[in-house]
Structure 1
Amino acid sequence: MTKDILTVIQSEMSTFSKGQKLIANYILNSYDKAAFMTASKLGKTVNVSESTVVRFAAELGYDGYPAMQKALQEMIRNKLTAVQRIEVSNDRIGNHEILPMVMHADAENIRMTLEEVDRRDFDHTVSAILSARKVYILGVRSAFALSSFLGFYFNMMFENVVVAHTNSSSELFEQILRIGEGDVIIGISFPRYSKRTVKAMQYAKDRGATVVGITDSGASPLAEIADHTLMAKSDMASFVDSLVAPLSLVNALIVAVSRKKSEELSGTFSKLEKIWDEYEVYEKTDE
């Protein structure tokens, strides 16, 4: 479906049954909570049967309730404030034990990422990086941890790697000012998506660079700009972004590139080990 799900619900309200109108009104007024409810819980919340909820999803044109729930989640991911995220996560966690719940959710995100990531885009990204004149890596806020991790290892393999990092939009553009044809920029962003990252990637695109987006959804503004999109599932744990699956994807990208650069990488580490020995970088333990 191309229309916003809330718009569809509002436009079709007059056609719904009494039970379906209860569901529709709850979603319109509390979409942030409804998006993370099971069909059973949503039904109990508005006093209708689970089967009524499932039929409601079909009425909207979705292939089952999970498809409708996914559409709701993708629609709101960039709309929730930090306070709303805390409220939603508290409702989801309830009385469950936090440690296993969060770790099981992370494991599920990795599984879904493996199933949904486009292998051709992954291979094309590896090829583009290997042939790039210069590689730019961009991630702000929590995504900076991923861009820094990626940049650390790429600097071991390439001479021309720039990890752009700043809280200022003007400084960000100063760091990517000379990007152009033959270059690759890797932008990393998850909800709430960074406008700075999106604008920088658009600038790179306009300059003729190859644009790679690492994000969570085809509806992400990064995906609309990117030549190649690597999608990794993220989730909310309170106000915290769960970036385990994106980190796993970034790690796979590093390994794939390193296998093509194995000789250069071996040479780099041989030089480093000689330097470490010569300058006694590692302190010897006391005898």
Structure 2
Amino acid sequence: MNQQKNNDLLLMIQQRYDDFSKGQKLIANYIADHYDKAAYVTAAKLGEIVGVSESTVVRFAIELGYDGYPKLQKALQELIKSKLTSVQRIEVSSNRINEDNVLKSVLQSDIEKIKITLEQIELDDFNNVVETILNANRIFILGVRSSATLASFLGFYFNLIFDNVRLVHTTSVSEMFEQIMRAQSGDVVIGISYPRYSKRTIKAMQYAKSQGAITIALTDSIESPVAQCADLSLLARSDMASFVDSLVAPLSVINALIAAIGMRRKNEVYNTFEHLEKVWDEYNVYDKDDNHDVKL
């Protein structure tokens, strides 16, 4: 099975969906929504999850042109590694989004991803990450491309809580290494990356770990290359809305992380914001005019 067919697998399933039997449609729906999980379960387990027989799962793989379920499973695993190109995202998502009500389609998809994340995330993992960050000497935050917005959001609030945070801004691998070259034992490096995974973030995480820093990944799957080089991981489901990355669930997890750490450092946060409120008032940072009149 060549790489192109691996990448086109989800699109092929959607294009042939109407021709599938009732049982095959159940399998198709599960793979479309959970291909990262389907890639690592047996045919019997997949059948159990969706409520069909193991033989139905095997026939489904053959129906798609694979020589049995293991070949389909391998294709799904390759799909996870490579993910989809921007063009393929547009092709696949065009069949998932109701063009007559794009707003409802996208928001419902985001709600579903938050629900899945809530069901799957481990509270012990979350609490462990909170403790690790609270005990860090320094905190480095990495995130590029679409994940840069998540990194900036986390960095903004962490800088209000801690005085030892560095948000790594970079446009190249060399610049990223220059900014984390002093990461060492006792430091924490948080790498945020979602499909398609950034090589810069992966390499920086690998380097930080080799220097003795504790690495924390915020990503979508334990099979993510960022998770593979992390000591701790927080998993939040992402999705694609056309060529756009839907990162609502990861942002919700980041919000929870900020809130949890803020509660643990309540006194410091209170003092910080008490001081900031005075500064903001003095320099008119925020509009406090109830009438919203323009004052020159």
TM-score by length of 2: 0.77
Q: Aligned Cα RMSD in Å? A: 3.0
2:68 maps to 1:63? no
Task: Report the equivalent of 2:258.
Answer: 254
Q: CA deviation at 1:243?
A: 0.4
Find the counterpart in structure 1 of residue 21 from structure 2: 49
Q: Distance in 2 between matches of 1:234 and 1:241?
A: 7
Amino-acid identity (%): 49
Task: Report 1:93-112 matches (<5 A).
Answer: 93=97, 95=99, 97-112=101-116
Query: What is the CA distance between 1:61 and its match in structure 2?
Result: 4.1
Q: Flag structure 1 segments of 5+ consecutive residues without an equivalent.
A: 1-5, 8-26
Whole-Å separation in 2 of the counterparts to 1:190 and 1:29:
17
Question: Counterparts in 2 of 1:121-136, with a 5 A limit?
Answer: 121-136=125-140
TM superposition shift of 1:42 = 4.2
Query: Does the C-alpha gap of structure 1 residues 268 and 29 become closer, same or farther in structure 2, counting only changes over 3 Å?
Result: closer
- The residue that corresponds to 2:96 in the other structure is 92
Q: 1:243 is matched with which residue: 235, 243, 247?
A: 247
In 1, Cα distance between equivalents of 2:288 and 2:256: 34
Give CA-to-partner distance per residue, 1:48-100, whole Å, 9 cap, x none. Answer: 53336769999844422867899676642433111111111112225552111
Q: What CA distance in whole angstroms lies between the structure 1 residues aligned with 2:165 and 2:217? A: 17
Separation (CA, whole Å) in 1 of partners of 2:222 and 2:288 = 52
**Could you say which residue in structure 1 is the equivalent of 2:217?**
213
Aligned length: 257
The answer to whether the 8 Å contact 1:54/1:64 transfers is no
CA 113–53 in structure 1, closer or farther in 2 if over 3 Å, else same: closer
Distance of aligned partners of 1:202 and 1:29 in 2 relative to their CA distance in 1, 3 Å threshold:
closer
Moved more, 52-61 or 86-95: 52-61
Deviation at 1:274, TM superposition (A): 2.5
Kindly indicate whether the alpha-carbon contact (under 8 Å) linking 2:7 and 2:79 is maintained by their aligned counterparts in 1.
no
What is the match of residue 18 of structure 1? none
Among 180, 183, 187, which residue is 1:183 paired with? 187
State the partner residue of 1:31: 9
Deviation (angstroms), 1:32: 3.1
- Give the 3-state SS of the residue equivalent to 1:80 in structure 2: coil
Q: Is the partner of 1:147 in helix, strand or coil?
A: helix
Q: What runs of 5+ residues in structure 2 fail to find an aligned partner?
A: 29-37, 51-56, 62-71
